[in-house]
Amino acid sequence: MPTAHPSPSAPRPRTRLSGTGGFWLLATALLALMAAAGAPSPLYVVYQQRWGFSATVLTFVFAVYALALLVALLTVGALSDHVGRRPVLLIALTAQAAAMVLFLIADGPHGLLLARAAQGLATGAATGAISAGLVDLQPPSAKNLGAVLNSAGTPSGVALGGVTSGLVLQYVPAPTTVVFAAFAGVFLLLAVAVAWLPETSPRRPGALASLLPRAAVPSEARGAFLRVAPAATAGWALVGLYLSLGPSLAREVLGIDSGLAGGLVVAALTGTGALVGTPLRGMAPRKLMIGGPTALAAGTLLVALALAGHPSTALFFAGTLVAGAGFGTGFLGAFGTLAAVPTSRRAELFSSFYIISYLALSIPAVLAGILAPARGLHFVAEGYAGAVVLLALAAAGLSAAGRRAYRAVVAVETEQT
């Protein structure tokens, strides 16, 4: 019997990307999402001048993004564990493109709040799926690469968005239009490309139940989660200060009147955090969880000293670079710790991690924005930095104590054998 051949007009099955190709597509999507998250920060000065709102309103505009992202993580953060990574990402990236359009048509603070809320919802919907997918598709020959890109992709994307936006603000007419029109195009292209993404999460029951708002950590990962939470809180709290009020600090406290300066302030912290990931990827997560918070505390202390008395721009940026290295090191250690946990609920685990991270990112920044008009931006920034130093030192101490306990257990087991 002759073999049947499909007719020329019959639809051909779609060719999927290889696992490595899908891995790098997810890394690109994460970078783009985080770049879009960092891009508005240098532009807040433009919006303030255009619409005349206060520092308090500014921090609410910043925080509504993080709070909307939390809502998405609490509801659809684990959805890709049930329906697959690909459909969740397709919808999330399309929604992200729509959020960029909302930025383009915003005509006041309310429009800006709406755009940031939509952006947060779309980013939160994508975050769990991307983080889990990067671990799922990690090349076997590249140990810990998924954890490295998860930890480095967020700060490097924020840095890229901040610097790019600052450059556009400094040198290109109509910066708000150029930035968000470009991002809208990028997300539409990524949404199309996701159709070729290899699926790593088979469909399984429980999709509707997973939409109920909750923050859950799989039981097998709770110990690891508790070990990384304090360091993540300290690092993201400092990032929140820089993303919301960093450009204002550069202008009002340090006296740097430049659109690019706002982007550089953000990039100095988050970009350094991204750069430390690759050379440290082979280091044990336990060591990273001690060294990272320690460097974060030291750098933040330098920042506080730079703002005290006669503000020093050089010391401010030096401290920011050290703090950024500490943030990136701790973030890498946290992701390495969580990625090593064997669990089928990986998206749920990473979503819960991002929930505490974005709470730390948003709530302290809002409090700082509320206090700034009454107490002054200078005073609030110094107090904020001091609180981060104390929390980071506590996180380093907890990690060191945990490491000593681990060594004691190993020593006892060795003696018994």
pLDDT tens digit sequence for 275-332: 886 677 778 888 898 999 999 999 999 999 988 877 888 898 999 999 999 998 988 8
The residue ranking higher by pLDDT, 161 or 10, is 161
Residue 209 forms part of a structural domain: no
Q: Are 265 and 241 in contact (CB under 8 A)?
A: no
- Kindly report the backbone phi and psi dihedral angles of residue 221, in degrees, each rounded to the nearest multiple of 5, phi listed first: -110, 5
pLDDT at site 110: 92
* Confidence band for 3, pLDDT divided at 50, 70 and 90: very low
CATH number of the domain where residue 377 is located: 1.20.1250.20
Residues 247, 261: Cα–Cα separation, whole Å: 7
pLDDT tens digit sequence for 223-261: 888 888 888 899 999 988 888 778 777 777 777 776 677
- Is the pLDDT at 33 greater than 90? The verdict is yes
* Token pair of 352 as six digits: 């819960």
* Token pair of 95 as six digits: 């929604």
Q: Are 36 and 126 in contact (CB under 8 A)?
A: no
Residues 108, 40: Cα–Cα separation, whole Å: 14
What count of other Cβ atoms lies within 10 Å of the Cβ of residue 18? 12
- Is the pLDDT at 405 greater than 50? The verdict is no
- Is the pLDDT at 15 greater than 60? The verdict is no
Tell me the residue range of the domain where 106 lies.
Answer: 19-201+220-416
The residue ranking higher by pLDDT, 130 or 45, is 130
Residues 209, 150: Cα–Cα separation, whole Å: 27
Residue 1 forms part of a structural domain: no
pLDDT at site 267: 85
Average pLDDT, whole number, for the chain? 81
Overall average pLDDT of the 33-48 stretch: 88
- HSE at residue 381, side-chain half, CA atoms within 13 A, is 29
Residue 121 forms part of a structural domain: yes
Residue 11 forms part of a structural domain: no
pLDDT tens digit sequence for 332-368: 888 788 878 887 777 678 778 878 888 888 888 888 8
Closest CA to 253 of 361, 385, 368, 382: 382
Residue 2 forms part of a structural domain: no
Domain count, the chain: 1
* Confidence band for 404, pLDDT divided at 50, 70 and 90: low
Q: Are 381 and 230 in contact (CB under 8 A)?
A: no
* Confidence band for 215, pLDDT divided at 50, 70 and 90: low
Residue 46 forms part of a structural domain: yes
Residues 271, 95: Cα–Cα separation, whole Å: 27
Overall average pLDDT of the 147-163 stretch: 79
- Is the pLDDT at 165 greater than 70? The verdict is yes
pLDDT tens digit sequence for 83-124: 778 888 999 999 999 999 999 999 989 999 999 999 999 998
Q: Are 144 and 281 in contact (CB under 8 A)?
A: yes
- Is the pLDDT at 417 greater than 60? The verdict is no
Closest CA to 239 of 115, 368, 130, 71: 368
Residue 211 forms part of a structural domain: no
The residue ranking higher by pLDDT, 217 or 143, is 217
The residue ranking higher by pLDDT, 404 or 88, is 88
- Is the pLDDT at 406 greater than 70? The verdict is no
Residues 409, 75: Cα–Cα separation, whole Å: 39
Residue 283 forms part of a structural domain: yes
- Is the pLDDT at 8 greater than 60? The verdict is no
Query: Which residues are within 8 A (CB) of 327 and not within 5 positions of it... i.e. 6 or more apart?
Result: 155, 235, 238, 239, 269, 270, 272, 273, 292, 296
